[in-house]
Amino acid sequence: MEPNEPLLAAVGFLAAVVVTLVDGRRAVTWASLAAALGLAPSVAASYGADGAVVLLAAAVAAGVAGVLSHAVAGRLPRVAGVDAGVPVVAGVEGLFGPRSIRVATAVLVLPAASWVSFNIPLGSASTISGVLFPAAVVGGCAGMRLLTARTVLDIAVGVAALGIAVAAAWFLSAGVDTLSSAATVAALAPGAAITSGWLRGRHRAVRRPAQTAS
C-alpha cells in the first residue's frame, strides 16, 4: 500500500509547530516526542518499523534522561553557572518575543522544505512523492530554533529535534549502515536532555525571600 503523503506531511508539520513553539523545563522532552511521533509514520512507511522504533526510543530516552539528570543535579549543592532557562543575550520579553521570532523564521522553512523534498534526491527517497518533507520541515524548524536561540534550553531543543530529523532522513535515504548511523544521530536527543537537565538542576536560580516592610 502506498503511503498517504498528504497525511504524513500534515503530521510532520504539526511536529514542526511543536518544535518551534514549545517552552518550559520539559521543552526538550516534548520537542523530542513531537519530532519522533511526527516522523515515525513516514519512516515506518518507507524504511520499516525498526526505524520508527529507533526514533521513538530516542525520544523516550530523552524524557527519562532529562528527568534523571535534573534530579541528580538538584541533590548537589548549587553552584554559580549558566542556568539553561535564563536568556543570555536578551530578556524573555525582549525584542519581539522569542516565539514571534521563531514563528517568523519557521514560515520561511515551509517553502524551503517543500522544495527540498521534491527537488533534492536523497538515496532511495523519491523526489516526486515528497516523502522527505516531514523530515525537512522538522529539521528546518529545529535549525531555525538553533539560530534564534537565546537560552541553553533553546539550543538543547534544537539539537534534540535536529538529531531525530536527521536520523529520519538517514532512514529515508537508506544510507550506509543505516540503522547504526541513524541511531547514533538520534542519540543527540537524550544527550541534549541530559545537558539541559543537569544545567537546570546544578545552576538553578535561587529565589530570594520577599522582604517585609519594616
Residue-wise pLDDT for 129-149, tens only, equals: 567 888 989 999 999 888 888
Q: Would the pLDDT of 44 be above 70?
A: yes
pLDDT at res. 214: 42
pLDDT at res. 210: 46
Tell me the mean pLDDT in the region 47-51. 88
* Residue-wise pLDDT tens digits, 179-205: 888 899 999 999 999 998 888 877 664
Query: Residue 175: which pLDDT band, with cuts at 50, 70 and 90?
Result: low
* Residue-wise pLDDT tens digits, 59-110: 999 999 999 988 888 787 766 555 556 565 555 444 345 667 777 777 778 7
Q: Is 52 part of a structural domain of the chain? A: yes
In this structure, are residues 129 and 106 in contact, taking their beta carbons and an 8 Å threshold?
no
Grid cell of 124 as nine digits:
532511495
Q: Is 193 part of a structural domain of the chain? A: yes
Higher-scoring residue by pLDDT: 1, 7: 7
Q: Which of 18-27, 47-56, 74-83 is least confident?
A: 74-83
Q: Is 147 part of a structural domain of the chain? A: yes
Q: Is 209 part of a structural domain of the chain? A: no
In this structure, are residues 140 and 159 in contact, taking their beta carbons and an 8 Å threshold?
no
Q: What domain range is 78 assigned to?
A: 5-202
> In whole numbers, what is the pLDDT of the chain averaged over residues?
80
Q: Is 212 part of a structural domain of the chain? A: no
pLDDT at res. 93: 44
Q: Is 214 part of a structural domain of the chain? A: no
Give the integer Cα–Cα distance in Å for 36 and 84.
Answer: 23
Q: Would the pLDDT of 56 be above 70?
A: yes
For 58-93, b where at least 16 C-beta lie within 10 A, e where not — what string?
bbbbbbebbeebbeebeeeeeeeeebbbbbeeeeee
The domain total for the chain is 1
